[in-house]
Amino acid sequence: MKKSQCILLFLLSILFTSANSVYNVNVATFGAKPDGKTDTTKPFLAAWAVACGSTKSVELYVPQGRYLIGQAIFKGPCKNNATNIKIDGTLVAPTNYWDLENTGYWILFNKVNGVSISGGTLDGQGAGFWACRAAGKNCPNGARSLTFNGARNVNVKGLTSINSQASHIVINGCNNVIMQGLKIVAPDNSPNTDGIHVQTSTGVTITGTSIKTGDDCISIGPGTRNLMIVGVNCGPGHGISIGSLGKDAIEDGVQNVTVKTVTFTGSDNGLVLAKTSASTGFVRGILYQDVIMKNVKNPIIVDQHYCPRNEACPSQNSGIKISQVTYRNIRGSSATPIAMKFDCSVTNPCREMNVINVKLTYQNNPAQSSCLNADGKISSSVSASSCLN
């Protein structure tokens, strides 16, 4: 861009600013080249600094094209609580996965308030990293594509995320987050490419979203409260999982999670609860409603005997208390004979499990269920007629 063009753009942006009350910032003005080859990390961070420093609401615009971005940390707090990032282009991670080092992040928003992202594609270019892992070579940790740490009032709409090295989107330590109309895609054999991971966060809503990956569709970690998942299509992948929990002996619980109007297609699991091990944590107030299973290997699982890394497990009973879990209107087909499996611990049985109208088939016959140390009520459920205590 010529200097004169640059000045013109700058003047135009001032003009726009005074005509509208929204301040407009365009990454092109900062020299971001949309050729997919020129590193645009610095222009993006410079544009962010201006947007974040604006005292009034601001739109940060990314035009069409491919933008190569190395590790980018968008730091808050900002001087405004209304930064809208509008993306028409694709952000591309470096093909050399060592460029992101061992930090575990590609794009990170830290302590922002009132940030929204609309549109755009994130291409994590994970294939090289997965191959490195598969070959058992010396590889870095792998980066999540998009992370929000300690953020409030976040709205992500219409974003596509493909081929993340590790998890696609992570919501950690956040408050009031809406993710809507997302598309997340990675090959079903790609390792640890979770769709969305939520932990230590309150008031997260995930809606109208399609997730096809090699690991969990959505994974829910300790300290999650008031999570709403509605209108989500999952599969292939490992289902919607609460857990693993109990990695740390002292751990916050998971409370008030609703999973509603969700379809699982050809996934390894459906609704998974709490691959838990010994800890102070708990899981309570979980509602699974109006869920369709299409040829899912393990449609419903509660497993308190899950034993990560097989260390010191056989004598260890889960200390995590599971209670008030409702399964209502779950229909469809299981790819294995046992469609519902509650495997709870003797010391902490699962309490107040409600199974209402669960009708799952295996090869066109009612599927079976198996329950261990679980109390609760079952009504009009073909697949679980006399399973609970």
Ligand X SMILES: *[C@@H]1O[C@H](CO)[C@@H](O)[C@H](O)[C@H]1NC(C)=O
Residues with catalytic function: 238
CB 218 within 8 A of CB 208: no
Please tell me whether residue 261 binds ligand X under the rule CB under 6 A: no
The vertex-212 CA angle with 363 and 205, nearest 5°, equals: 105
Binding-residue total with ligand X (CB under 6 A): 8
Among 24, 29, 40, 80, binds ligand X (CB under 6 A): 80
Nearer to ligand X, 178 or 382 (CB): 178
Nearer to ligand X, 80 or 244 (CB): 80
Q: Which positions ≥6 away from 316 have C-beta within 8 Å? A: 277, 278, 307
Rounded to 5 degrees, what are φ and ψ at 9? -60, -40
Q: Specify which residues 257 forms β-bridges with.
A: 227, 286
CB of 258 to ligand X, least distance (A): 5
Nearest to 86 by CA among 143, 156, 150: 156
Please tell me whether residue 81 binds ligand X under the rule CB under 6 A: yes
Nearer to ligand X, 228 or 382 (CB): 228
Cα(182)–Cα(158) distance, integer angstroms? 5
Stretch that binds ligand X, among 33-41, 78-86, 124-132, 325-333 (CB under 6 A): 78-86
Task: Kindly write out the interface string for residues 211-230 of this chain, putting x where it contacts ligand X by CB under 6 A and - elsewhere.
Answer: ---------------x-x--
Cα(189)–Cα(134) distance, integer angstroms? 11
Q: Which positions ≥6 away from 204 have C-beta within 8 Å? A: 171, 174, 176, 177, 178, 179, 198, 224, 226, 227, 228
Stretch that binds ligand X, among 77-85, 321-329, 347-355, 365-373 (CB under 6 A): 77-85
CB of 111 to ligand X, least distance (A): 11
Among 79, 96, 249, 385, binds ligand X (CB under 6 A): 79
Stretch that binds ligand X, among 76-84, 98-106, 139-147, 361-369 (CB under 6 A): 76-84
Please tell me whether residue 258 binds ligand X under the rule CB under 6 A: yes
Residues 344-363 that bind ligand X (CB under 6 A): none
Residues 99-118 that bind ligand X (CB under 6 A): 113
Nearer to ligand X, 24 or 113 (CB): 113
Nearer to ligand X, 222 or 236 (CB): 222
CB of 150 to ligand X, least distance (A): 12
Please tell me whether residue 373 binds ligand X under the rule CB under 6 A: no
- Sign, CA dihedral 359-361-366-372, equals negative
Cα(156)–Cα(181) distance, integer angstroms? 8
Q: What is the CA radius of gyration of the chain?
A: 23
Burial of residue 257 (CB within 10 Å: 0-12, 13-18, 19+) is buried
Tokens in use for 147? 């992370």
Q: Which residues would be at the binding site for ligand X (CB under 6 A)?
A: 79-81, 113, 226, 228, 256, 258
